[in-house]
Amino acid sequence: MAPALTEDDLTGISSDAIASDDPRPYIDQLVAAVDEDRLAEPDLASYALGLAADLAEGLHDGDLALSLSARSVSAARGSSDENWTRARHAELLLQFGREDEGMRELHALRPQLTRDEMASVYVTEALLENDRAELAEEWLTAALVTAVQIVERAEPGPPSDEAREIESALAVRRFHVRRDLGLPYDEADAVAEQMDDNGPDYIYWPQTAFDRLLQAQPDAAEELGATWDEHRAMIERDLQESDPTDLPFVEVGTPDLLAALLADDEDAAPAPGPELEWPPGRNDPCWCGSGAKYKKCCLPRGRA
C-alpha cells in the first residue's frame, strides 16, 4: 500500500508539475490521492484539490479548474481555510467568465471584512486579480468606517484587541490598494503608512548585487543564504508562513546601499530602498525580478 501523502508531499507534487512540460499527470496524482483516501490527514483534501485547481488554471482549462476548485471548497467546509478557499473559487469564477457567480460569492464573503482580520487579503485579492481594484478600494473604505465604529464601541479586553487588529489590517490593505491606484493620500492613508513605516525585517538583493555582496563578504551567507536561490527561498518562505495582516517588511537593496556595505562605511546613510510588494498575482512577473511568472518561480520555491 502506498504511503499516505503529507502536506510537503502534496507541495512537492505541485512543484514538480510546475517545472514539467505537462502538469496533467500531476493533477491526476493529486486528485487520486483524495479520491483514494491516501492523505496523511483528512483536512489535506482541500489543499490537494486547490493545488490541482491552480495547475488547471495554468493550463487555461476553466472547466477543470472550476470543478476542482468547487471540490476544494466542499472539502474545506467548517475548517479555518473555508473562507480562503471560497474566495479563491470566486477568483477563478471571475477569471473564467462566470462573473455573476463569482461576484455573488464575494458579496457573501464581504461581511467578513469586519469580522476576520485576514479577510482584507482573501476578499480583495480575488477582486485585484480580476482588474477590480476600484471596487476593492470601495469595499475596504466602507469596511474601515465600520471597523472604526466597532473599535469605538468595544469594551476593553480581547474583543477590543481583535477589533483593533481588524481595523489595522483594513487600513494597511486599503493604503496599499489606494497607492497602487495612484489615489491621493487621505487621513486614513497617513495613519496606515505610519503603521508600515518600520525598519526592514529583510533586505532583498537582486542577483547581481547578491553575488557582489557575498564575494566581498562571504560570512554574509549565514544570514542571507549561500546562493541567490536560497536567498529568494528564505524570503518567500517567511512571507508565506507569516500572518497575512502582519507580513515582514522586505526592503529591496539599492546600489547606494550596496556601495555603503562594500565600503564598510558606518557613516553612510543611503536612502531606504523600495518596499517589496508581495504577493504578486500568480500570473504576474515574480517579485524577484527573474522575469518568470510568480507561480513558476518563487511561489513554489517558498513551499519546497
pLDDT category at 39 given cuts 50, 70, 90 is very high
40 and 68, same domain (yes or no):
yes
206 and 193, same domain (yes or no):
no
177 and 238, same domain (yes or no):
no
Residue 131 lies in a domain: yes
* DSSP reduced 3-state for 293: strand
Residue 87 lies in a domain: no
Stretch 35-61: mean pLDDT: 93
Cell of 13: 507534487
Q: Please report, rounded to a whole number, the percentage of residues in the chain having pLDDT higher than 90.
A: 49
Burial (CB count <10 Å: 0-12, 13-18, 19+), residue 52: buried
Residue 97 lies in a domain: no
143 and 215, same domain (yes or no):
no
pLDDT category at 266 given cuts 50, 70, 90 is low
Residue owning grid cell 529591496: 252
206 and 123, same domain (yes or no):
no
pLDDT category at 124 given cuts 50, 70, 90 is very high
Question: Is residue 108 pLDDT above 90, yes or no?
Answer: yes
64 and 139, same domain (yes or no):
no
Which has more confidence, 194 or 95? 95
Question: Is residue 192 pLDDT above 80, yes or no?
Answer: no
Question: Is residue 85 pLDDT above 70, yes or no?
Answer: yes
pLDDT category at 113 given cuts 50, 70, 90 is very high
pLDDT category at 156 given cuts 50, 70, 90 is confident
9 and 65, same domain (yes or no):
yes
Residue 74 lies in a domain: yes
Model's pTM, two decimal places?
A: 0.69
Residues 6+ apart with CB under 8 A from 126: 87, 88, 90, 91, 94, 102, 106
pLDDT at 120: 93
pLDDT at 249: 82
Residue 136 lies in a domain: yes
135 and 72, same domain (yes or no):
no
272 and 207, same domain (yes or no):
yes
Least-confidence region, from 49-53, 202-206, 234-238, 254-258? 254-258
212 and 293, same domain (yes or no):
yes
pLDDT category at 263 given cuts 50, 70, 90 is confident
pLDDT category at 67 given cuts 50, 70, 90 is very high
Question: Is residue 189 pLDDT above 80, yes or no?
Answer: no
What stretches of 182-249 adopt beta strand conformation (E)?
202-204
Least-confidence region, from 46-50, 52-56, 117-121, 282-286? 282-286
112-141 as b/e: b if 16+ CB within 10 A:
bbbebbbbbbbbbbbbbbbebbeebbebbe
Domain end, chosen from 138, 167, 197, is at 197
Residue 172 lies in a domain: yes
Q: For the chain, how many structural domains are there in total? A: 3
Domain of 66 in residue numbering reads as: 1-79
pLDDT category at 50 given cuts 50, 70, 90 is very high
